[in-house]
């Protein structure tokens, strides 16, 4: 009976999310079709949809989405590859933590936009400069998040493993990593979201494709419909990414999922 | 016949530094010994350093001075020879009961077939047959602690260290678990050092009881327990049980009284 109640509640939660989207679209329609806001500030929903459809027809939609997704992924994956072991080391060694924590705390406050000139100077205008911007935007935050998540692993579990004869390496591999995995998946999900927010910064200079580039260029021509189309596409990709991560979390840590089910 | 000495703790001191740089003496000159196959209890009030003591023996903390000898050899750091069971179970929630019990053997790189066989044996011993594939979160507190005991025993440690393992269980479950542990001690001959603040538990299970004083923790007295027959819930009303219980209660009451007078 209790379960039944939960279930209907779950449906109504989804309904509420939907209503929120519908409300926003409704205000948009009223504002635009009702002639309350000029087209140049707020393009009509039909104009934006037409734009997206025409972009899909000429293929630029897929090309731009793919280019941007690729840049975000490469930058973000590098940041995961380096942040994961570093965060784990920081969480388990005071010396490592003392060595790198201050510089990370320092770097994380630097605005990524301000680093663009340096990345151009060092790396030129190629793709690696774009990956680097995404990397810089996510890495310093991610290291601290990984460190925090790994520090949160129940020390009793680590003690139990050590008294069961696990070596330090075994403790990392067999206990700390699996125990932290659900939390790490959350960290990854959040940072890949941030990676998308740095996309426009990454495509600000010397890009000739990508959603961020598309939005920037449209500003020059006051093509508000294209700007809206770009924003909506980024948002949708974000929703899909989030959804993929939720499924992945369930796959890599099924024991955790069932825990919340109860 | 004198049994051979398994575990010796000699003149152990543990001093912590508090936040102001002052010294807090947690353990002062603690010495104790556990013979082979013996069931030894340490009982004392909260904050007497019992947990610090067992963590030092287990190698999870270091002593300020003194030594811990296992079969005459000094111990350093944690090791599979001193298995520990904690109050909080500390099972691995992503592993099934079977895999939890196999954990220590896997760390030793025992073959999968051997591991499965041994795990089965100890799962049977703690009465969890049929739950091999359950996840820890599906088990009650008592069952979780059974898994933790099986997991530690499967490693075949020289000595089993238990830190208030039944403290979080309800009274009925606790008695059942105490009977189970008494049976395990009888049938497997495992050497056990067990910490508790529960006098009933100490007298029911222990062959010998070290009574500790309040901070700084030190051994106040050693009590030999003479209770006829196998230890089970019936032992709880025997005159020998009650007499020993009274003796220890008086000691601990004296401790509390002294502590109150100090203030």
Q: Rounded to a whole number, what is the distance in Å from the CA of B102 to chain A's nearest CA?
A: 10
B235 pLDDT band (50/70/90 cuts)? confident
On whether any CB of chain B is under 8 Å from the CB of A253, the answer is yes
pLDDT at A259 over 50: no
- Residue predicted with more confidence, A174 or B213: A174
pLDDT at A254 over 90: no
Q: Using CB atoms, which residue from A160, A179, A253 is nearest to B86?
A: A160
Contact A159 B84 (CB under 8 A): yes
Distances from the Cα of A39 to the Cαs of A28, B133, B171, in angstroms?
Answer: 11, 63, 74
A84 pLDDT band (50/70/90 cuts)? very high
Task: Output the DSSP codes for chain A.
Answer: -HHHHHHHHHHHHHHHHHHHHHHHHHHHHHHHHTTSS-TTTS--HHHHHHHHHHHHHHTHHHHHHHHHHHHHHHHHHHHHHHHHHHHHHHHH-HHHHHHHHHHHHHHTTS-HHHHHHHHHHHHTTSHHHHHHHHHHHHHHHHHHHHHHHHHTS-HHHHHHHHHTT--HHHIIIIIIHHHHHHHHHHHHHHHHHHHHHTHHHHTSSS-SSSHHHHHHHHHHTT-HHHHHHHHHHHHHHHHHHHHHHHHHHHHH-HHHHHHHH-
Residues written for chain A: 262
On whether any CB of chain A is under 8 Å from the CB of B94, the answer is yes
pTM here is 0.82
A217: Cα within 13 Å, side-chain hemisphere: 15
pLDDT at A1 (0 to 100): 41
Contacts of B86 in chain A (CB under 8 A): 156, 159-160
A71 and A135 Cβ atoms separated by less than 8 Å? no
B194 and B206 Cβ atoms separated by less than 8 Å? yes
Contacts of A256 in chain B (CB under 8 A): 93-94
Contact partners, residue A108, CB within 8 Å, separation at least 6:
A140, A141, A144
Contact partners, residue B205, CB within 8 Å, separation at least 6:
B39, B41, B178, B181, B182, B185, B194, B231
Contact B94 A164 (CB under 8 A): no
Nearest residue in chain A measured CA to CA from B85: A160
Contacts of B137 in chain A (CB under 8 A): 255, 258-259, 262
On whether any CB of chain B is under 8 Å from the CB of A175, the answer is yes
Q: Using CB atoms, which residue from A157, A164, A178 is nearest to B155?
A: A164
On whether any CB of chain B is under 8 Å from the CB of A257, the answer is no
Q: In what order do the strands lie in the sheet with B219-224?
A: B82-85, B159-163, B191-196, B39-43, B208-212, B219-224
Q: What mean pLDDT do residues B213-234 have?
A: 85
Contact A165 B106 (CB under 8 A): no
| B163 backbone dihedrals φ, ψ, rounded to 5° | -105, 95
Indicate the range of A5-19, B43-57, B169-183, B239-253 predicted with least confidence: A5-19
Q: What mean pLDDT do residues B193-221 have?
A: 90
| Mean confidence (pLDDT) of chain A | 89
Q: Using CB atoms, which residue from B78, B88, B92 is nearest to A163?
A: B78
pLDDT at A10 (0 to 100): 61
The gap between the terminal CA atoms of chain A, to the nearest Å, is 14
On whether any CB of chain B is under 8 Å from the CB of A127, the answer is no
pLDDT at B222 over 50: yes
Task: Output the DSSP codes for A112-141.
Answer: HHHHHHHHHHHHTTSHHHHHHHHHHHHHHH
Helices A60-92 and A127-151 pack at an angle, to 10 degrees, of 40
B122 and B154 Cβ atoms separated by less than 8 Å? yes
Contacts of B107 in chain A (CB under 8 A): 161, 164-167, 170, 174
On whether any CB of chain B is under 8 Å from the CB of A157, the answer is yes
A206 pLDDT band (50/70/90 cuts)? confident
| B37 backbone dihedrals φ, ψ, rounded to 5° | 65, 10
CA angle B180, B181, B184 (to 5 degrees): 90
pLDDT in tens, A138-194: 999 999 999 999 999 999 999 999 999 999 999 999 999 999 999 999 999 999 999
On whether any CB of chain A is under 8 Å from the CB of B137, the answer is yes
| Cα A144 to Cα A41: distance, rounded to the nearest angstrom | 40
| Cα B258 to Cα B161: distance, rounded to the nearest angstrom | 30
Indicate the range of A9-13, A244-248, B168-172 predicted with least confidence: A9-13
- Indicate which of A160, A161, A249 best probes the interface with B, i.e. most B CBs within 10 Å of its own CB: A160
pLDDT at A4 over 70: no
3-state secondary structure chain B: CCCCEEEEEEEEEEEEECCCCCEEEEEEEEEEEEECCCEEEEECCCCCCHHHHHHHHHCCCCCCEEEEEECCEECCCCCCCEEEECCCCCCCCCCCHHHHHHHHHHHCCCCHHHHHHHHHHHHHHCCCCCCCCCCHHHCCHHHHHHHHHHHHHCCCCCEEEEECCCCCCCHHHHHHHHHHHHHHHHHHCCEEEEEECCHHHHHHHCCEEEEECCCCECEEEEEECCCCCCCCHHHHHCHHHHHHHHHHHHHHHHHHHHHHHHC
Q: Which residues pair with B67 in a beta bridge?
A: B10
Contact A179 B80 (CB under 8 A): no
CA angle B172, B177, B181 (to 5 degrees): 150
- Indicate which of A152, A153, A154, A165 best probes the interface with B, i.e. most B CBs within 10 Å of its own CB: A165
pLDDT at A8 over 70: no
For A204, the token pair is 């600000």
Contact B84 A163 (CB under 8 A): yes
Contact A163 B137 (CB under 8 A): no
pLDDT at A262 (0 to 100): 37
pLDDT at B20 (0 to 100): 80
Contacts of A178 in chain B (CB under 8 A): 92, 94
A35 pLDDT band (50/70/90 cuts)? confident
Could you tell me how many CB contacts below 8 A there are between chain A and chain B? 77
pLDDT at A205 (0 to 100): 81
Distances from the Cα of A195 to the Cαs of A33, A103, A123, A234, in angstroms?
Answer: 35, 21, 19, 11
């Amino acid at each position: 009976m209790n379960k039944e109640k939960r279930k209907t509640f779950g449906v109504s939660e989804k309904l509420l999310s939907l209503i929120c989207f519908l409300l926003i679209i409704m205000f948009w329609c009223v504002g635009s079709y009702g002639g309350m806001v000029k087209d140049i500030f707020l393009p009509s929903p039909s104009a934006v949809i037409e734009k997206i459809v025409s972009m899909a027809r000429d293929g630029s939609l897929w090309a731009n989405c793919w280019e941007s997704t690729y840049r975000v992924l490469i930058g973000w994956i590098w940041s995961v590859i380096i942040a994961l072991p570093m965060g784990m080391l920081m969480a388990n060694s005071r010396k490592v933590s003392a060595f790198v924590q201050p510089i990370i705390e320092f770097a994380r406050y630097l605005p990524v936009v301000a680093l663009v000139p340096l990345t151009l100077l060092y790396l030129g205008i190629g793709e690696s400069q774009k990956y680097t911007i995404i990397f810089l935007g996510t890495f310093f935050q991610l290291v601290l998040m990984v460190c925090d998540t790994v520090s949160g692993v129940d020390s009793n579990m680590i003690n139990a493993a050590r008294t069961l004869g696990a070596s330090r390496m075994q403790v990392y591999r067999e206990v700390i990593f699996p125990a932290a995995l659900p939390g790490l998946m959350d960290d990854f999900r959040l940072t890949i979201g941030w990676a998308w927010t740095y996309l426009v910064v990454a495509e600000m200079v010397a890009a000739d494709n990508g959603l961020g580039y598309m939005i920037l260029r449209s500003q020059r021509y006051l093509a508000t419909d294209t700007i809206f189309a770009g924003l909506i596409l980024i948002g949708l990709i974000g929703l899909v990414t989030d959804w993929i991560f939720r499924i992945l979390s369930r796959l890599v840590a099924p024991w955790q999922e069932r825990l919340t089910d109860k | 016949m004198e049994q051979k000495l398994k575990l010796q703790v000699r003149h152990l001191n543990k001093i912590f530094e508090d936040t102001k740089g002052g010294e807090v003496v947690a353990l002062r000159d603690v010495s104790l010994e556990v013979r082979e196959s013996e069931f030894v209890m340490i009982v004392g009030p909260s904050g007497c350093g019992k947990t610090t003591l067992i963590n030092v023996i287990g190698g999870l903390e270091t002593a300020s001075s003194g030594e811990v000898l296992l079969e005459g050899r000094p111990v350093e750091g944690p090791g599979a020879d001193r298995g520990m069971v904690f109050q909080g179970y500390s099972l691995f929630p992503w592993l099934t009961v079977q895999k939890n019990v196999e954990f220590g053997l896997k760390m030793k790189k025992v073959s999968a077939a051997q591991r499965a066989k041994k795990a089965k044996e100890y799962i049977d011993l703690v009465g969890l047959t049929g739950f091999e594939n359950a996840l820890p979160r599906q088990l009650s507190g008592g069952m979780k602690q059974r898994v933790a005991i099986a997991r530690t025993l499967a490693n075949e440690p020289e000595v089993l260290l238990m830190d208030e393992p039944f403290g979080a269980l309800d009274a009925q479950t606790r008695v059942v678990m105490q009977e189970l542990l008494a049976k395990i001690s009888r049938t497997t001959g495992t050497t056990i050092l067990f910490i508790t603040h529960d006098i009933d538990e100490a007298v029911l299970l222990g062959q010998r009881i070290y009574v500790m004083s309040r901070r700084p923790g030190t051994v106040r007295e050693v009590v030999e327990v003479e209770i006829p027959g196998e230890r089970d819930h019936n032992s709880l009303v025997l005159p020998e049980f009650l007499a020993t219980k009274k003796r220890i209660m008086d000691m601990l009451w004296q401790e509390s009284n002294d502590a109150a007078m100090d203030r």
